[in-house]
Structure 1
Amino acid sequence: MPSYISDSRLNSYEAAFCGATAGVVSRFFTAPFDVVKIRMQLQPHRTQFQLKHADPKTIKYTRIIPALKTILREEGIRGLYKGNLAAEYLYLLYNAVEFCAYREIELFIEKLDSQNQIPAAAKTFTSGMLAGSAATSITYPLDLLRTRFAMQGTHNQTEGIIGFYWGVWPTLMQIMPYMGLVFTTYDHIASTFKAARENGTLSPDHKPMHDMLSGALSGIVSKTVVYPMDVVRKRLQVQGPSRKHYVISAIPEYATRSWFKCMKLIAAQEGVSSLYKGLTVSLIKVAPAISMTFFVYEKTKDMVISWKS
């Protein structure tokens, strides 16, 4: 049985259109938080799990609101949208590929499992994992450029074609469980809401709110699980294969290390909690981002279906 996300009334192109629309809208509203998250992730200071705030005299970006104010004061409104043009293309293409691929992969798995022996959660997780991997592989160069532009450096760096895929392995290692969890968690929560609406426990008029809440919760759970991999990915992306013209010279050498060794090095030199630098701002961003993505996707899907009827 298809998941809550899929709809037999949509073809692959229509699913891609709905995904692209959702990606563009979601990105526009969350771009400033993404810039803050990246700035926090790439600060090489040692951290500890503690309640008191870091010293702003030695650490530039310590908390979300002050960081937003600092960027706004030093760089203007454009600073909060550094790399956003590349990111808009990224989100448009990424979500188009992802939702289209999800639909096709899920249909393929359904055909293979004609006897319904595979658990529904496993199908959703596998479909989300593979769809996220396909979308990431296609859009990775744009993601790398988005990260570089979000930083403050002004030096140019020539790395060749391979430079566009620097750090791709930790990205894929992160995105596979992440998107698998996002789609599985969303499907489970949204399906629960759907059942409650159908039996009269909840009002059908509140479906948009249910979809948004399902997306927010799925994003929070999934992002927290895979966040350390995201920190490693950003370090590798910004550094690139060479230290020449590196924009943050204080960060240790990671380029010749695997993503797992890089993670161990960060934990050893900066503390284990450094693997969660920027987590708060990331969750503040991811909750509305995933929520809005699925909300806009569902609304666009309903609109397309109404056009066809």
Structure 2
Amino acid sequence: MVGYDPRADGRNVSNLEVAVAGSVSGLVTRVLISPLDVIKIRFQLQIERLSRSDPNAKYHGILQAGRQILQEEGPTAFWKGHIPAQLLSIGYGAVQVYKTLRNAVVTMYRTEGPLVFYKGLNPTLIAIFPYAGFQFSFYSSLKHAYEWAMPAEGKKNGAVISPNLGKSCCSWIVMGEPRREEYKIQSFDAVTQQLLKTALKDPGAVDLEKVANVIVDHSLQDCVFSKEAGRMCYAIIQAESKQAGQSVFRRGLLNRLQQEYQAREQLRARSLQGWVCYVTFICNIFDYLRVNNMPMMALVNPVYDCLFRLAQPDSLSKEEEVDCLVLQLHRVGEQLEKMNGQRMDELFVLIRDGFLLPTGLSSLAQLLLLEIIEFRAAGWKTTPAAHKYYYSEVSD
């Protein structure tokens, strides 16, 4: 719809929702503008000039035509369909027939003059302004009504947000739904920005294995980017599939993830931040990449292994790793349990044992571990009482 900017929208509005709101607003607008449209059709079908000086002219002005139609046919006449309106409009027993387009133009010009081609112009012009205004107004009202009735997706009810999240927010922002996203990637240099933009719009024009390496490399350095990179990867995979029906980018991405997974202990020893970024990234990819609307089996065990590592005693003594463990379980824990419930049981045995450690855990780590244990026990939901308790504790 002209004037609609999905980037300015705070929620993810799908193409279907936009189409419904636009269609209904158009329907309502047509109902309101129909009287002027009926008058326009009557003017166009009238053979006589639209003038009071012509005694045979049934209609000669907008107001006069409106009164005439109302008196003769009643108020419902203004909402008759075009074909019935045309048949009932002027009360003749005969219909003007033209053999060809050229014959129609010549005949109309000779018999009625050049102004015949502008019959109905005035009501059409008058209708344009309220038509456009009503449509935009009703579209906006219907869209807001839909948003009020159907809250935005992506807000996990009761999910506890770690206080560390607010500390790392920086320049990389993603807006919109995965199929139609705009990425603000100011943290990249100009050449890399252009590479990623091209990959999103025309994946066949760039080296997609290079793109995969760029995204992984940056994800290991920037925790904020690693939280959102799954969306970009999903968008590139979709664009490549539509354009060429191939999966070069996905293969390159999974190969690189496997390489980093095999060297995860070295990564953790070298850089704790890089390790946390990797776990965040692979969980993000697991959340977005699907096969037949199911998570990729190839990622299930690697994701579990990463979470098991975060649940070890030496990791639980570090708030960064506890924070990462809890956040990822909030994000993909329910999906993982459906894929392999036994491993989830084993993971939570480690988490419960870690919570009971006599020393080594900070008060924040204990709080987060207790919250995730209760979160899973409640069916991957947070009860209102628990929600109030943990939020108040975190804010304190």
TM-score by length of 2: 0.33
Structure number with higher relative contact order (C-alpha < 8 Å, ≥ 6 residues apart)? 1
Q: Give the greater-gyration-radius structure (CA).
A: 2
TM-score by length of 1: 0.41
